[in-house]
Amino acid sequence: MGRRVKITLLLAPALLVVSVLFAGGLSAAVVQSLGYLPAIGRTEVSLDAYREVLGSRDFLDSLLLTVYVAGASTGISTVLAVLSALALRNSAGRLSAAIFQLPVTIPHLVAAVGIALVVSQTGLGARVAAALGLIGEPSEFPALLFDRHSIGIILTYVWKEVPFITLVALAALRGVAAELEEVAQTLGANRWQRFWYVVFPVIAPGVVAASLIVFAFTFGAFEVPYLLGQTYPTILPVMAYNEYRSIDLSSRPAAMAINVLIALITALFAAAYLRLGRGLGRG
Amino acid sequence: MDRKNRRRGNLGLAVAALLVALPFLPLFLWSFAGEWRFPALLPTGWSLRGFQALAEPGSRVIEATINSLVVGGAATAASVAVGLPAGMALGRYEFRLKGLVVFFVLLPILVPPLASTMGVHLTFIRLGLADTAFGVFLVHLVPTVPYTTVILASVFAERGVELEEAARTLGATPWQAFLRVTLPGVAPGVAVAALFAFLVSWSQYILTVLIGGGNVITLPMLLFSAARGSDPVLTSVLALIFVLPAILALVAALRFLKAGDAKKKQEGLLGLGKVS
C-alpha cells in the first residue's frame, strides 16, 4: 500500500466526521444566513440578514459585551496565572498539579452553579459579610449575578481558566527556566531583569497560546452566560440562540448570520493559535 | 534560602487549594441542608431531602443518567475509533497539507459547535435524526473527535516506530505488529483520550438541547433547569452527581501522569479539556 494512500485512509474517518457534521453544519449556516430557506418558501439569496444584524443596536451591544467578557476573563486569568505560577514554582509538583487540574476538569456548568452559590445576595459571601457586620439585608450585598458588568460570568471563567494557564506556565518554568535563571543570577542580574529577560521569554509562548484558547472559548461559549447573564444585552452565542428559537422563522437568517460571524472571529483566533504553535517548532 | 522559598511556595499552594475548593463548599453544605436561612453561616438543620427527591420516580434523574451514560459511552467509543487512526497518521508521518489537516481537525475545539449545530439542525429534522438519542450522539462527535485525535497524535508522536519496526524485522505481519506492539504501547494514551471524550460529551448542554429537542433528557439539562429554579438543595445534589465522573476521571488521570516524563505533555493536553 502506498504511503499516501495509507495516510489518506487513516485520516478519512476523522475528516469525514469533521467535514459532514461540522463544516457541513457551518456551510448550512452560511446558506441559511443568505436567506435561502426553501422550507418556508424563500429561495432568493441576499446579504439582507448581515445588513440587518450589523446595523442593529442589539448586535452592537451584544458584540461589545462579548468582547468585554472574553477580554476581561482572559486578561484577568492570564495575569493571575503568571503570578501564581511564579509564586508556586517551588512548591510540591504533584500536589500543585492535582489542585490545578481540578477546576480544569470540572464542567463549566458546575463551576457556574458553585460560584453563584458563593456570590449571590444570599450566598456564602453575603453571609460572611453579614457575620462581619458589613451588611444587614441580602439586598445590601452587591448584585454580582445577572448584572450589567457580568461579574458572575467573569468570576466563573477566572476560576476555570487561571488553573489552566498556570499549568502551562508551570510546565515551562519547571523546565529550562530554573537553570537559565540561576545562570543569570550568577552573572549578576537582579530580580526584575531575571524575570523580564529570562523567565518571561521562556513562558511567554505557552502562556500566549493558552490565552488565545481561553479568549476564543469564552467568546463562543454559551452555558455560563446563559445561566448567569443579564437579559439584555446578552452575549453573542446566547443572542444567536434566542433569535434561532424565535417562533418567527423569518428571523432565522439573522440567527445564522450571527453564528457565521462568531465562527469567523473564533476561527481567526484558532489560526493565530496554530501559527504560534508552528512558529515555536512543533514537538 | 531555598527552604524559605519552598515554605512560601507551599503557603501559596494552600491559598490556591482554598480558592479552588471555595465553590464546592456551598454545594456540599446545601446538599445536606434542611434549613439554612440568610444570615446563618452554616445550615441550622440537616436533611437528605435533595437525595430523596431525586430517588422519586417523577424526578427523571435515572432516565437522564442513563441517557448521559449511553450517549457519552457511544461518543467515546466512536471518537476513539476515529481518532486512533487519525492520530497515528498525524503523529507518525510528515506529509503535504499536514498543517491544514491539523487546523481543520482542531477547528471544532475553538469555533463553537453551537454555530455548526444550528446549521445542521434542519438537515437532521429532514433525516429524522432530530429529537433522537442517535442524533444527539452524532453532534457530540463534533467536540469529541478533535480531542481524541489531538491527544492520540501526540501519543504516537512521542512513541516513535522503532519497536514496531523491530517486530517486523523479527517476522511479524503489519497487523500482528500493530496488535501486539503498537496498541499495548499506546493503551494509556487511549485511556486518557477516552476519559476526555467521555467528559466532553457528559458536559454538553446546548448541543443536546438543540438536537434532542427536549426528547432526550440528560443530566446537565436537569441541572440547568434546577439552577434556574429556586431550590438550592436540589441544584446542589444534582451538581454533585453531575461532577462525579469528572472527579473520578481526574483521579484516574493523575495516576497515569505519575509515569515519567510524558507528564508535561499530558498536563498541557489535560488543559485542553477545559474547552468542553
Confirm whether A1 is domain-assigned. Answer: no
Q: Are B116 and B108 in contact (CB under 8 A)?
A: yes
User: Considering only CB atoms, which chain A residues are within 8 Å of B221?
Assistant: none
What is the CB neighbour count within 10 angstroms for residue B122? 19
Q: Are B147 and B79 in contact (CB under 8 A)?
A: yes
**Sign of the torsion formed by the C-alpha atoms of A268, B270, B193 and B244:** negative
Confirm whether B227 is domain-assigned. Answer: yes
- Tell me what pLDDT residue B254 has: 74
What is the CB neighbour count within 10 angstroms for residue B247? 13
What does the pLDDT look like over B18-27, one tens digit per residue? 999 999 999 9
Nearest CB partner across the interface for A10, out of B27, B88, B220: B88
What domain count does chain B have? Answer: 1
Task: Please give, rounded to a whole number of angstroms, the shortest distance from the CA of A111 to a CA of chain B.
Answer: 7
8 Å CB contact of B270 and A110:
no
pLDDT band at B258 (very low <50, low <70, confident <90, very high): low
Q: Is the pLDDT of residue B2 over 70?
A: no
Residue in chain B nearest A98 by alpha carbon: B254
Q: Which of residues 41-100 of A touch B (CB under 8 A)?
A: 84, 87-92, 94-100
Question: Three-class SS of residue B95?
Answer: coil
Confirm whether A22 is domain-assigned. Answer: no
What does the pLDDT look like over B48-64, one tens digit per residue? 999 998 888 778 999 99
Q: Tell me the C-alpha distance between B176 and B55, whole Å.
A: 49
Tens of each residue's pLDDT in chain A, 283 residues = 688 999 999 999 999 999 999 999 999 999 999 998 887 788 888 999 999 999 999 999 999 999 999 999 999 999 999 999 988 887 777 788 888 989 999 999 999 999 999 999 999 999 999 999 999 889 999 999 998 999 999 999 999 999 999 999 988 888 777 788 888 888 888 888 888 888 888 889 889 999 999 999 999 999 999 999 998 999 999 999 999 998 777 788 999 999 999 999 999 988 888 887 654 433 3
Residue of A3, A21, A82, A165 best to disrupt the B interface, most CBs of B under 10 A? A21
Q: Is the pLDDT of residue B182 over 50?
A: yes
Residue A178 grid coordinates: 530554573
**Sign of the torsion formed by the C-alpha atoms of B40, B45, B48 and B49:** negative
The residue range of the domain holding B130 is: 48-272
Confirm whether B198 is domain-assigned. Answer: yes
- Tell me what pLDDT residue A181 has: 81
- Tell me what pLDDT residue A281 has: 39
Residue of B38, B102, B114, B121 best to disrupt the A interface, most CBs of A under 10 A? B114
- Tell me what pLDDT residue A182 has: 82
A170-174, B183-187, B263-267: range with highest mean pLDDT? B183-187
- Tell me what pLDDT residue B55 has: 85
**Sign of the torsion formed by the C-alpha atoms of A115, A118, A123 and A125:** negative
Q: Tell me the C-alpha distance between B262 and B39, whole Å.
A: 49
Q: Are B122 and A28 in contact (CB under 8 A)?
A: yes
User: Considering only CB atoms, which chain A residues are within 8 Å of B24?
Assistant: 114
8 Å CB contact of B8 and A255:
no
Residue in chain B nearest A115 by alpha carbon: B23
- Tell me what pLDDT residue A1 has: 67
- Tell me what pLDDT residue A277 has: 66
Can you tell me the mean pLDDT for B107-111?
91
- Tell me what pLDDT residue B272 has: 44
Q: Are B250 and B270 in contact (CB under 8 A)?
A: no
Q: Are B234 and B226 in contact (CB under 8 A)?
A: yes
Residue B72 grid coordinates: 457519552
Q: What is the CATH number of the domain that holds B175?
A: 1.10.3720.10
Residue B200 grid coordinates: 466532553
Confirm whether B166 is domain-assigned. Answer: yes
Residue B207 grid coordinates: 448541543
Q: What is the CATH number of the domain that holds A154?
A: 1.10.3720.10
Confirm whether B29 is domain-assigned. Answer: no
User: Considering only CB atoms, which chain B residues are within 8 Å of A115?
Assistant: 23
Torsion on CA atoms A88, A93, A95, A96, rounded to nearest 10: 40
- Tell me what pLDDT residue B256 has: 66
Can you tell me the mean pLDDT for B186-197?
91
Confirm whether B20 is domain-assigned. Answer: no
User: Considering only CB atoms, which chain B residues are within 8 Å of A218?
Assistant: none
pLDDT band at B266 (very low <50, low <70, confident <90, very high): very low
Q: With CA atoms as reference, report the closest residue to B99 among A98, A173, A65, A282.
A: A282
What does the pLDDT look like over B124-169, one tens digit per residue? 999 999 999 999 999 999 999 999 999 999 999 988 788 888 888 8
Confirm whether B161 is domain-assigned. Answer: yes
Confirm whether B142 is domain-assigned. Answer: yes
Confirm whether A41 is domain-assigned. Answer: yes
8 Å CB contact of B199 and A107:
yes
Q: Tell me the C-alpha distance between A110 and A74, whole Å.
A: 20
8 Å CB contact of A266 and B110:
yes
The residue range of the domain holding A203 is: 36-118+145-279
Task: Please give, rounded to a whole number of angstroms, the shortest distance from the CA of A65 to a CA of chain B.
Answer: 17
Q: Is the pLDDT of residue B117 over 90?
A: yes
What domain count does chain A have? Answer: 1
Confirm whether A136 is domain-assigned. Answer: no
Confirm whether A25 is domain-assigned. Answer: no
What does the pLDDT look like over B208-223, one tens digit per residue? 999 999 899 999 999 9
- Tell me what pLDDT residue B65 has: 94
Q: Is the pLDDT of residue B113 over 80?
A: yes
Q: Tell me the C-alpha distance between A91 and B211, whole Å.
A: 46
For chain B, report the end-to-end CA distance as a whole number of angstroms.
42
- Tell me what pLDDT residue A97 has: 82
